[in-house]
Amino acid sequence: MKTKLSVNLNKVALIRNGRGGNMPDLIKFAIDCESYGADGITVHPRPDQRHVRYDDLAQLKEVVKTELNIEGYPSDNFMKEVLAVKPHQCTLVPDPPGVLTSDSGWDIDGEKVLLVDIIDSLKTAGIRTSLFIDPDPRQVIAAKEVGADRIELYTGGYANNYFIDKDKAVQSHIDCSKKAEEMGIAVNAGHDLNLDNLRFYSDSLSSLSEVSIGHALICDALYFGIANVISMYKALLR
C-alpha cells in the first residue's frame, strides 16, 4: 500500500495571520493541495491561535474531500471543537500551552486515565484516533492498550541524525513498525521529514500508512511551487 501524504497547513495559516485578512486563503489552499495530489490535510490549532484557528476547522471539513486530520492537546476546548467538526482523524499530542512545536511523544502509561477517556469519546463520534509517540516499541503496546487506532511516530530525532548514521537513526522506527504490525495498529509519522530523508524512511519501514509534512514542504514550495512540491514528496513515498 502506498504511503499517503498529508499536507500540514499551519505555516500557511501563520503567513495569513501575520498580516491579518485572508491572504493566503487557507481554505482555497487546502482545496488546491488536494487537486495537486495531496492525500490529506493536517492542521494543528494551538491555544494562542497563531497557526490554524478554531474558526477554520468547520470550513476545512466542508471542503476537504480526502482526509482531514486535526492535531492537538486534548484540552476541554480542543475536544469540544473536534467533536463538533468530526474530522476523519484526530492526532493527540502532549503539547503544553505555548510550546513552539511538537517535539516529544506521550508517556502513555502515565496518562492512561486521560487517554482512555479521550479516545473513547473520539471513537464514539466515529473519529479515527492516533497518538503521537516517541519511537519506542513499549509506547506502541501502550497505545494499543488505551484503544488508539494508530500511532504517529515522532521523526525529529531521525531527521537530526540522518546524515550522521541513517541506519542507526531509523532502527527504532523499524522496530516500532514491526511491533505495530504485531499489535494490529497502523503507523503514521511526522516531524522534520523532508526531500532528503523521506525516501529512506519510507523504504525502511515495513508498514507506514501516512506521513504528515508541513514546515519543510512549505519551505520547499517557496522555491519550487506547491504543485511541484507535492508531486516531489509523493514520488518519494513507496
Identify the H or E element spanning 187.
Answer: strand 186-190
Active site residue 44: yes
Whole-angstrom Cα distance, residue 179 to residue 37?
30
**What is the phi/psi pair of residue 42, to 5°?**
-115, 140
Active site residue 111: no
**Cβ–Cβ under 8 Å, residues 45 and 65:** no
Active site residue 51: no
Per the residue annotation, which of 44, 67, 81, 152 is the catalytic one? 44
List, as own/partner pairs, every contact residues 73-77 make where C-beta atoms lie below 8 angstroms and the sequence separation is at least 24, other chains included.
73/97, 74/114, 74/118, 75/47, 77/47
Q: Within 10 Å of residue 195's Cβ, how many Cβ atoms?
A: 16
Distances 136 to 172, 187, 208 between C-alpha atoms, Å: 7, 13, 16
Q: Which residues contact 136 (CB under 8 A, 6 or more apart)?
A: 105, 172, 176
Per the residue annotation, which of 51, 152, 173, 191 is the catalytic one? 191
Distances 61 to 8, 70, 225 between C-alpha atoms, Å: 14, 10, 25
**Cβ–Cβ under 8 Å, residues 167 and 208:** no
Whole-angstrom Cα distance, residue 180 to residue 44?
25
Q: C-alpha cell of 45?
A: 490549532
Per the residue annotation, which of 34, 51, 67, 71 is the catalytic one? 71
Q: Which residues are catalytic?
A: 44, 71, 191
